Amino acid sequence: MPDHTSTTKGSGSLYAQERQSRILQIAATDGRVEVAGAAEHLGVTPETVRRDLKALESSGRLHRVHGGAIPVEKLDFEPTLAIRTQAQADEKARIAAAALQLLPEEGTVIVDGGSTTALLAEGFPRDRKLTVVTASLPLASALLPLSNVSLHLLGGYVRARTQTAVGDWATAALGELYADLAILGTNGLSVEHGLTTPDQREASVKRAIMTASRRRVVLVDSTKIGVDHFTRFATLEQIDTVVTDSAAAAKTCNAITAAGPEVICA
């Protein structure tokens, strides 16, 4: 089992978000997190860890078992969009707001599906004309009333869990496009394995989005950093910018930057 004790100094003063991010990293590395071990590692009481595990289970990030918890990936389970939208809501709102600052003054943007990318619509600029291509039903619905947006919805099989179109129709359409900017979501990001997602069909669409774009921006909250899923769709070297929240560890952000992307902490 990897040694997590080297990062325990000062852990007792961590905020809940930071503790939960560390707990997810342990679970991803070891395949399981034990209450007693996590309490010692974080410098908190077992009851505090149990509360964190309960919160992480409620947001669909972990599944509690006797004495601890295991990653949901171990159960071949992906949280629904509704559950993911509720998790880290404030952090995702800040990430989305920062991502909006990266939009071009004009041109075409491909926006991936996901709980964070869906929030882009709330502050989408009204002062410029943009063409937006997306496979996300919630995002398309939210952008439809904007007269300055030329909206294109990709077709295909719609996954109920993510409310996003996947499959050959979507990837074929993307193969005919080239955009100024792509804004992608991801279920996991690690320095070792890049960007990953549980579903192979989602991964295929994400790869096609990247191929169809000149610049690639990834939105990822800090609890997904250090987490790996079943299918990789990109390496860090293929990404231009990573937008995350301020709870992301500085050491990890530096490692991501060393791999190539600019890191923006919102």
Rg for the chain, CA atoms, rounded: 18
Q: Give the pLDDT confidence of 221-249 residue by residue, as tens digits.
A: 998 898 888 899 999 999 999 999 998 98
Please indicate whether residue 250 or residue 1 has the higher confidence score (pLDDT). 250
**How many residues does the structure list for the chain?**
266
Q: Where does the chain hold its CATH 3.40.50.1360 domain(s)?
A: 82-265
Mean pLDDT score, 171-177: 98
Q: Give the pLDDT confidence of 57-79 residue by residue, as tens digits.
A: 888 788 887 788 888 765 455 66
Of 39-48, 70-79, 118-127, the poorest mean pLDDT is in 70-79
- Which of the four pLDDT bands, split at 50, 70 and 90, describes residue 27? confident
Q: Residue type at 218?
A: V
Place of tokens 């009851």: 47
HSE-up of residue 232 (Cα within 13 Å, Cβ side): 13
* CATH number for the segment(s) 5-77: 1.10.10.10
Mean pLDDT score, 124-144: 97
Q: Give the pLDDT confidence of 95-108 residue by residue, as tens digits.
A: 999 999 999 999 99
- Give the other-Cβ count within 10 Å of 7's Cβ: 14
Mean pLDDT score, 104-126: 95
Q: Beta strand pairing status for 262-265 and 241-244? A: parallel
Evaluate whether 128 touches 106 at the Cβ level (below 8 Å): yes
- What is the chain's mean pLDDT, rounded? 89
- Which of the four pLDDT bands, split at 50, 70 and 90, describes residue 10? very low
d(CA 200, CA 168): 12
- How is residue 214 written in tokens? 């000149």
Under DSSP, the state recorded for 196 is E
Q: Counting Cβ atoms within 10 Å, is residue 25 exposed (0-12), middle (13-18) or buried (19+)? A: buried
Contacts by 63-66, CB closer than 8 A, 24 or more apart: 65/32
H or E stretch covering 190: strand 188-190
Question: What's the pLDDT score for residue 226?
Answer: 86
d(CA 100, CA 143): 14
Q: Where does the chain hold its CATH 1.10.10.10 domain(s)?
A: 5-77
Q: Is 82-265 a domain of CATH 3.40.50.1360?
A: yes
- Which of the four pLDDT bands, split at 50, 70 and 90, describes residue 7? very low
Of 23-32, 37-46, 76-85, 234-243, the poorest mean pLDDT is in 76-85
- Give the other-Cβ count within 10 Å of 31's Cβ: 12
**CA-based max dimension of the chain:** 55
Enter the pTM of the model: 0.73
- How is residue 150 written in tokens? 């030329």
